Amino acid sequence: MQTKLLKITHTQQDEAILKEAAGLLAAGHLVAIPTETVYGLAANALDPKAASAIYAAKGRPSDNPLIVHVSDIREIPPLVKQVPETLYRLAERFWPGPMTIIMEKSDLVPYETSGGLDTVAIRMPSHPVARELIRRSGVPLAAPSANLSGSPSPTCAQHCMDDLTGRVEAIVDGGSCEVGVESTVLTLCTTPPTVLRPGAVTLEMLREVLPDIRLDPGIFLHLSDDRKVSSPGMKYKHYSPKARVVLVRGPLEAFRQFIDGQSGDFGILCFSGEESGFSRPCIVYGVKGDAASQAKHLFDALRKVDKEQMKLVYVRIADGEGIGQAVYNRLLRAAGFDEIRL
């Protein structure tokens, strides 16, 4: 398959691009699209064949459900058994934006989309291109991250091209993603509601609307593949470069000493401004103390690790509040939970 690259230029030409991409989606094809979190691999969420094609293109395990993207709250009632009252309160505060909500699904949502579950994950993105494509295609769009399963999520069109050229009909290039990590996922199917994946909408923010919401312990714990998990995505190794990733927690001086004590071939991931003085190649991922900037650059940095053919990378990590939890969660998974505390 020839993959078309459709570039948004913020000129009159965008009209033709949006029309073409929406036409492909309405016809059941796969199109990688920009969102504010990461690029999504979109297809008609109500078409079992289109949803199955997403799993095939990504090499994604068929029990890992897809997030369904809508552009208007009025699109939700047909997709769910009933709309919980809390949905409206959450939507008012955090939508459009990087929050995904799990509810009981209606029969309209095929099991191909829900990964065989009786629940469905729904999000209303804020990215104008994503919103316009949902609206124009006339259907909700299932859109997991537009990467090959297991590899770091894509935060620009080049990442999608690297992974999916020849596997999808088109890639819409809308520039770099603002947030850089995937949406916060929470379920309203538990009492109290539970956060299953941390993201830019943080636990503290959610507590303003749902004071009793809790974090699923699986977010920061290693769960073996056969254990029952609340969110299938939790059990897979994720976001990882081919290199072995090891997290190293501690003050900068201790980190430098640790690195000096290591022999052999390896690389370093650290914060910008810290990279000089190391005897090994260094890639930066954002600013220390600025978790939002770390989130934005994390996946690009993890992809560079493979581009530079590092076999082992030590990642400097520091405590992070808010979205820092999302950064830590992604890094833990990239590292297969391998963390050294100095």
- Select 197 or 296, whichever has its Cβ closest to ligand AMP: 197
Scanning the structure block, which residue is given the tokens 């993890």? 302
- Select 142 or 283, whichever has its Cβ closest to ligand AMP: 142
Choose the binding region for ligand AMP from 82-90, 117-125, 254-262, 269-277 (rule: CB under 6 A). Answer: 117-125
- Select from Mg ion, ligand AMP, none the partner in contact with residue 121, using the beta carbon and a kind-dependent cut-off of 5 to 8 Å: ligand AMP
Q: Does residue 151 touch ligand AMP according to CB under 6 A? A: no
- Select 41 or 124, whichever has its Cβ closest to Mg ion: 41
- Shortest spacing between CB 153 and Mg ion, in angstroms: 6
- Over the window 126 to 165, marking each residue x when it contacts Mg ion by CB under 5 A and - when it does not, the resulting string is -------------------x--------------------
- Select 147 or 255, whichever has its Cβ closest to ligand AMP: 147
User: In sequence order, what are the residues at sequence separation of 6 or more whose Cβ sits closer than 8 angstroms to the Cβ of residue 169?
Assistant: 1, 3, 4, 24, 29, 30, 31
- Shortest spacing between CB 305 and Mg ion, in angstroms: 18
Q: Which amino acid is at 42?
A: A
Q: Select the residue interacting with ligand AMP from 232, 250, 281, 322 (CB under 6 A).
A: 232
- Over the window 172 to 211, marking each residue x when it contacts ligand AMP by CB under 6 A and - when it does not, the resulting string is ----------x--x----------xx--------------
Q: Select the residue interacting with ligand AMP from 71, 145, 184, 294 (CB under 6 A).
A: 145
User: For 28, phi and psi rounded to 5 degrees?
Assistant: 95, 10
Q: Select the residue interacting with ligand AMP from 35, 44, 71, 114 (CB under 6 A).
A: 114
- Select 193 or 233, whichever has its Cβ closest to ligand AMP: 233
- Select 145 or 230, whichever has its Cβ closest to Mg ion: 145
Residue 46 tokens, joined = 């109500």
Positions in the binding site for ligand AMP (CB under 6 A):
64-65, 67, 102, 114, 117, 119-121, 144-145, 182, 185, 196-197, 231-233
Positions in the binding site for Mg ion (CB under 5 A):
145
